[in-house]
Structure 1
């Protein structure tokens, strides 16, 4: 439906015939009504067949359009939003005046000194009404799950993609500090301060997940793919950067630490809100980078070169990031800077000022090996699977990920042991020992679809070739591929 909506007080438009059918539809209502109809179709077709729905609401956002009227009474199958399918009125709220309804709780809301109260400006009434509408919509969807009998075993995750936004296509600007939507943090959308990137998530599955718990261990969106694969009892793609959150959700076992990394380039500055630390107000953004390990975050703004220093914060004790530890804890700085070099690879279409930086090696543990004159590839573990399910997946699977499932899909074998033809997937882990810093090319002879990671970065992505800059020393790798063929891993050094 991209491109169908123009802005407040205007209607759906497109050259497609659908435009007339969607005229007057509020997008949040439209998405919800269609989602309800689609879920009902899935359950009616096969109540035992799992389904997956990604529902990305576009409000509250820059348009800040108001609904056409109040939320319909009731919820679920018999009430709330409904998909009618009638031309010109595809949903039951496609009536009334577009961009007209302000929720009663906010229509006369005031702020300021009790003796000199002021009415909320229109833009904030719009924002609050949009948020309230999403709350109604999610409640409607949850009621539907109960009505069709799949509430207990359906996993619902509600979260946001970034901190509060200040875009407004209206004449009236909007500020994120009116509602203080950034919470106890500094920064908003497009910032790499905590207020720009840290968001909450609500997770619900009454028959699977014990309720009433709060987990403070950080995760990132790529963890959801690994989590969904784990809960579905299939191997996650080896190219996925995520780890399964199932142990945390199910309250059993332990999960691996998430890879937490952000890089973002954008013009503009952090707003100069009084609630923000002075060092953050009006901060030039430019190229930004963030990496987190444990409670410590390394962040740098307006990066010009690979050797620009990170600011280092203990965000558990200092959520506003006011006390930079980079000078007093150089060990933390160096650890975070090293990790930042190990989680990414350069891409020619998206140049960054630190692309020429080599991945830092592990701390030296074997001086003799590190001083070798030739590249050494040391395989320390080989995992194989004979599970035929893996051959049906459209991706190269990972075998070494921690799984909450009781059905492991691998067995350990000795390196070099003959592999029988019924092997469906393999995974090797080990170390690369390189004698000098430089650009290294990797060629996998004998296979065409593999995933090779060096440290946490994907170097070969569902192919057979890749390149990366490495510092001299030891670098862990993981190679995942299909079938019984044992490939040759060739590494060539370019100066």
Structure 2
């Protein structure tokens, strides 16, 4: 049995501590059961707005799904989504690391405009918050009567801050508030709304609660509870981000099947243990595959739940990833060809760091087994969802609705003039995609006039042939975009330092 202790987040004086502790001990009986604000919940009627489930994998590469070319293992449940929906071949993440990618998703703005542009830590737990005056996708959905829930990893505001998920439009939250805490799959606590739920079976070196499984249980509960209401469910899985860890009953199925194995020596004791550094893993290949299989199985269970409740036909399900594959904690993207045909990995602005899989299933609307080359990105999700549900999007967002593409009306699809990214680690990096042209600029801090690399993606998706010298007029256009596409930030500058900022 898993035992939770509910610990209030803020304590102001001794007698309040006592009262809150009493309340906490009482509330521990519900095993972390979530409650939600029902003030804007509307009862579903026949033909009402569709439910929307947005499943976001963490550091899953373009080539990590068998529907996108993975050869060493299969992902049957995610592949089934593609068979029953639309597969995007040119979809881009909001950034090449976690927090800014999520910020772009939830604000509809690229990293030259969105507030959270990097993984900026706030101690002892959490990241720099989205400001209170930010209008998020969750708030837009809530405004038109949707129940909103976020499950998994947050990373956009430390507990209780203005960026806390419950202060940014979500009725309920369960999971990791802090990205750094999400580096450990057997955490000492998770967050259930405003309460910290201490996981006693993970004390010391015990591994009694595998967090993705508990978070998944709460995700299914959310669907069950809200089956009569239109809901927006944001499933921000931590899989397959490092550390590489899976329950033995899963890992044993893949042991010895992905040889030669690769070992990783991490932090297995001391004051930093399970507070950010990754644990050791002797079988990183088997562990990685185990994690992806767990994620794939959870996607299948979500679909089974929708079918059991009879709401699958009125539910849009989207699956994607927050950036390219990582190399941390012993991960081996070269072995699995995780970035597919692309150059680069997480923290790169080459295609391998930012081009990600996206699959959309919408019964009766999206043609089953279809595929699109429409260029789209995370900041397009906001206006797409509001177009579907009849909500409103801010006038200053960068996104374009890809609803026409989903409905098979690509001739009516608006196109981006360009896509822009900036990254605040490793000396500063910028990138632009303009049509089939891709411009990349590295070492922005040390050399603001660093040359722009230019690639023609129509013939060189691997970005192996820099043709900048052959097309000075294109380079000049991209150079102008690099200057004009962004607004300065007092918080995120191109010398950003983060927990894992290593060269």
TM-score w.r.t. length of structure 2? 0.54
Counterpart CA distance in 2 for 1:190 and 1:290 is 12
The superposition leaves residues 47-70 of structure 1 with CA deviations (integer Å, 9 ceiling, x where unpaired) of: 2x321011111111112221264x
Q: Which runs of 4+ in 1 moved over 6 A?
A: 6-9, 14-17
CA distance in 1, matches of 2:248, 2:188: 13
**How many residue pairs end up in the alignment?**
289
Q: Using a 3 Å threshold, how does the CA distance of structure 1 residues 11 and 58 change in structure 2: closer, same or farther?
A: closer
In structure 2, the partner of 1:358 is: none
Q: State the secondary structure of the residue aligned to 1:348.
A: coil
Give the Å deviation of 1:208: 1.8
User: Residues 238 and 103 of structure 1: is their aligned pair in 2 closer, same or farther, counting only changes over 3 Å?
Assistant: farther
What does residue 257 of structure 1 align with? 415
Compute the displacement of 1:235 (Å). Answer: 2.6
C-alpha contact 1:7 1:65 (8 A) present in aligned 2: no
Q: 1:35 corresponds to which residue? A: 219
| SS, match of residue 334 in structure 1 | helix
Structure 1 match to 2:360: 203
User: Take 2:373 and 2:396, find their aligned partners in 1: how far apart are those partners?
Assistant: 26
- Name the residue aligned to 1:152: 313
What residue in structure 1 maps to residue 435 of structure 2?
294
Q: What whole-Å deviation, never above 9, does each CA across 1:438-479 have from its counterpart, x for those lacking one?
A: xxxxxxxxxxxxxxxxxxxxxxxxxxxxxxxxxxxxxxxxxx
State yes or no: 1:162 paired with 2:323.
yes
Structure with the largest fraction of strand: 1
2:370 to 208, 213, 223: 213
Tell me the distance in 1 between the aligned counterparts of 2:189 and 2:224.
Answer: 28
Q: How does 1:221-232 map to 2 (within 5 A)?
A: 221-232=378-389
Give the drift of 1:19.
Answer: 1.5
The change in CA–CA distance for 1:193 and 1:19 in structure 2 (over 3 A counts) is: same
The 2-side partners of 1:181 and 1:154 are apart by: 29
CA contact 2:423–2:430 (8 Å) conserved in 1: yes
Given candidates 250, 255, 265, the residue that maps to 1:107 is 255
Paired residue secondary structure (2:315): coil
Match of 1:185 among 342, 362, 372: 342
Match of 1:297, SS state, is strand
Structure 1, unaligned runs of 5 or more: 70-100, 112-117, 268-285, 354-495
Aligned counterparts of 1:52 and 1:6: Cα–Cα separation in 2 = 23
1:133 and 2:281 matched: no
Q: Is contact 1:187-1:195 (8 Å) kept? A: yes
Cα distance between partner residues in 2 of 1:299 and 1:22: 47
Higher alpha-carbon Rg: 1
Greater share of helix? 2
- The 2-side partners of 1:306 and 1:119 are apart by 42
Deviation, 1:200, is 1.2
Larger relative CO (CA 8 A, sep 6+): 1 or 2? 2
CA contact (8 A) 1:31 1:55 kept: no
> Residue 22 and residue 139 in structure 1: after superposition, are their counterparts in 2 closer, same or farther (change >3 A)?
farther
Check 1:129–1:345 CA distance in 2 against 1; reply closer, same or farther (3 A cut): same
Q: Which moved more, 1:332-341 or 1:198-207?
A: 332-341
TM-score (norm 1): 0.54
What is the alpha-carbon root mean square deviation over aligned residues? Answer: 2.5
Q: Is the 8 A contact 2:439 2:454 kept in 1?
A: yes
Name the counterpart of 1:143. Answer: 304
